[in-house]
Chains A and B, each alone.
Chain A
Amino acid sequence: MAKTKQVYLDYAATTPVDPQVLKTMMPYLKEKFGNSVSLYKLGQESKKALEKARLIITQAINAKNKEEIIFTSSATESNNLALKGIAFANQKKSHIIISAIEHDCVLNSTSWLQKQGFQITQIKPDKYGLINPKDIEKAIKKNTILISIIHGNNEIGTIQPIEQIGNICEKKKIYFHTDAVQTFGKIPIDVQKMKIDLLTASSHKIYGPKGAGLLYIKKDIRIDPLLHGGNQEFGLRSSTVNVPAIIGFGKATEICLKKMKSESKRLTQLRDYLIQGILKKIPQAHLNGHPIKRLPNNANFWFAFIEGESIVTSLDQYGIAASTGSACSSEKLEPSHTLLACGLLPECAHGSLRLTLGRWTTKKDIDYVLNTLPKIIKNLRKISPFK
């Protein structure tokens, strides 16, 4: 059998490591293996490289000081640290506001906090997945300590009015955290201008290695650490620092910043070409998320009468990697909370498909999808009792 063409369109799930990133990391996996807290030359070399990565990231988000960047193992850890760290540094029974379309790690951290006695309010988005800052303002109580709103949604790609929300938080003197995993390295972020107090980002979504994440914490904000031990990362994240991964994270950030303008333009064009093509070629196809305020690389649809896991598996047989918010793709057998929060009915959410583009996506890849997907949808609809 001829080798099937491979088209990876799940860059929001994870990305391959950029060859330049890998090259930068390699010495720190081999001869420069020292522990960044060791006093001898080998350790200090690691320390120096680690601090270089910290500086790159500080500048990337326009933070004031490099000490405001804490490296962690993942975005999940960073979000846990932000939410639980702020919560436990404050009074029990305090109030936290999040959106209904946060990543699972924020949702599940806050539902755990709720069990510990904290109050949680979830703000619903409109049908495009957009949060209205006025709804946030209305939900603020006297004991609200933290507002956490995802910057760019991982499923539907909607980008929130972060600066407006930041201004509200500043005015009301409430900490503002944003999960910027899908936006960091893709669109400009300025923590000072956007009035962000805490920000989460991840390495493996931007062509860096897995196993590195970060939490920006504005100076003088007190949080409780999750891990207690050797007081690495300014006492906020004990553990031997994963130097090679973080160096890769730094390099990956540097490359993303350099390419950001041209790459976001290129991807936006490809994305719109894909969206227009699918909506035109496939009957009863609908776009999820906001038509304009969306990540440059995100397209998300729902197709009537069929189920998403079937679509994803069929695409896989043509070498196309994609994902779905259908219940059948998850262990809990319930469709995506994000799609439901946007008002989609379960049967519609079951038929969702996410295609996320990246650095190595070409127009040829998109054309291949535009030729393949209509056939797949048609075949599955033939089997379906609904027509």
Chain B
Amino acid sequence: MYNKKVLQHFKSPHNFGKIQNADGQGQVGNVVCGDVMNLYLKIGKNKKGEEIIEDVKFETYGCVAAIATSSIITDLAKGKTIKQAIGLNKDSIIDTLEELPAIKIHCSVLAIDALNEAIYNYLHKNKRDIPKELQKRHQRIEKEKQIIEKKYADWINSSKD
């Protein structure tokens, strides 16, 4: 089902764990659907004085593809400027992994969403301008969260009991 590269990342994922007092944090997915990703960012500056993702870590509950794409997104984002990181998309993940089974493509979207949400969280917290593109993505992710919560309301409520 999975190629060697995906399995390698799954077996030895890069950058997993939590960053204490992270500058930015994103959470996407829902436990009832079987995947939840948490992404943590530490923001620094490069020599030119641009803001970069100095460190990034993830915690993921989910399938092989969810864990492998989480690992990949941290590799791709690390060291990038914020602008470059916003430019990453699901194809960046799929290209790096070479291929993903069709029913698992949504996992790569989830990883991108987690990164976007973490960056959004950082910019928002620091009252910075949020690029239109990112704003739009944030709204879409929020909307999708609501749809899922509505769809699985019974299950989610019973989980809280």
User: Which residues of A are at the interface with B, using a C-beta cutoff of 8 A?
Assistant: 305-307, 309-310, 313-314, 317, 326-329, 331, 333, 335, 345-347, 350, 382-386
A326 touches B63 (CB 8 A): yes
- In the complex, which residue of chain B has the Cβ closest to the Cβ of A347? B31
Complex contacts, B13 vs chain A, CB 8 Å: 383
Q: Cα distance A346–B36 when bound, in Å?
A: 13
The answer, among B7, B61, B64, for a CB contact under 8 Å with A384, is B61
- In the complex, which residue of chain B has the Cβ closest to the Cβ of A312? B64
Distance from B74 Cβ to chain A, minimum over Cβ atoms (Å): 12
Which of A326, A347, A382, A383 has the most CB atoms of chain B within a 10 A radius of its CB?
Answer: A383
A sample of 20 cross-chain residue pairs with beta-carbon separation below 8 angstroms, ordered by A number, consists of: A307-B62, A307-B66, A317-B11, A326-B63, A327-B34, A328-B34, A328-B62, A329-B63, A333-B33, A346-B31, A346-B32, A346-B34, A347-B31, A347-B159, A350-B31, A383-B67, A384-B59, A384-B60, A385-B60, A386-B31
For B32-76 the 0/1 string (1 means CB < 8 A from A) is: 111111100000000000000000000111111111000000000
Closest 6 CB pairs of A and B: A328-B63, A385-B59, A309-B63, A346-B32, A350-B34, A347-B31
Q: Cα distance A386–B29 when bound, in Å?
A: 13
Complex contacts, A383 vs chain B, CB 8 Å: 13, 16, 59-60, 67
A385-B16 contact, Cβ under 8 Å, with A326-B63, A346-B31: no
The answer, among A309, A328, A346, A384, for a CB contact under 8 Å with B155, is A346
Interface size of B as a range: 20 to 34
Q: Cα distance A345–B30 when bound, in Å?
A: 13
Which of B13, B35, B63 has the most CB atoms of chain A within a 10 A radius of its CB?
Answer: B63
> For window 2-39 of chain B, which residues contact chain A by CB distance below 8 Å?
2, 7, 10-11, 13, 16, 27, 31-38
User: Which residues of B are at the interface with A, using a C-beta cutoff of 8 A?
Assistant: 2, 7, 10-11, 13, 16, 27, 31-38, 59-67, 103, 152, 155, 158-159
Complex contacts, B65 vs chain A, CB 8 Å: 328
Q: Cα distance A384–B13 when bound, in Å?
A: 12
Complex contacts, A306 vs chain B, CB 8 Å: 61
- In the complex, which residue of chain B has the Cβ closest to the Cβ of A313? B64
- In the complex, which residue of chain B has the Cβ closest to the Cβ of A348? B159
Q: Cα distance A13–B55 when bound, in Å?
A: 44
- In the complex, which residue of chain B has the Cβ closest to the Cβ of A332? B103
Which of B32, B37, B61 has the most CB atoms of chain A within a 10 A radius of its CB?
Answer: B61
Distance from B157 Cβ to chain A, minimum over Cβ atoms (Å): 11
Distance from B63 Cβ to chain A, minimum over Cβ atoms (Å): 4
B61 touches A345 (CB 8 A): no
Distance from A309 Cβ to chain B, minimum over Cβ atoms (Å): 4
Complex contacts, B27 vs chain A, CB 8 Å: 385
Complex contacts, A307 vs chain B, CB 8 Å: 34-35, 61-63, 66
- In the complex, which residue of chain B has the Cβ closest to the Cβ of A384? B61
Complex contacts, B155 vs chain A, CB 8 Å: 345-346
Q: Cα distance A328–B152 when bound, in Å?
A: 17
Q: Cα distance A382–B61 when bound, in Å?
A: 10
Q: Cα distance A140–B58 when bound, in Å?
A: 53
Complex contacts, B61 vs chain A, CB 8 Å: 305-307, 384-386
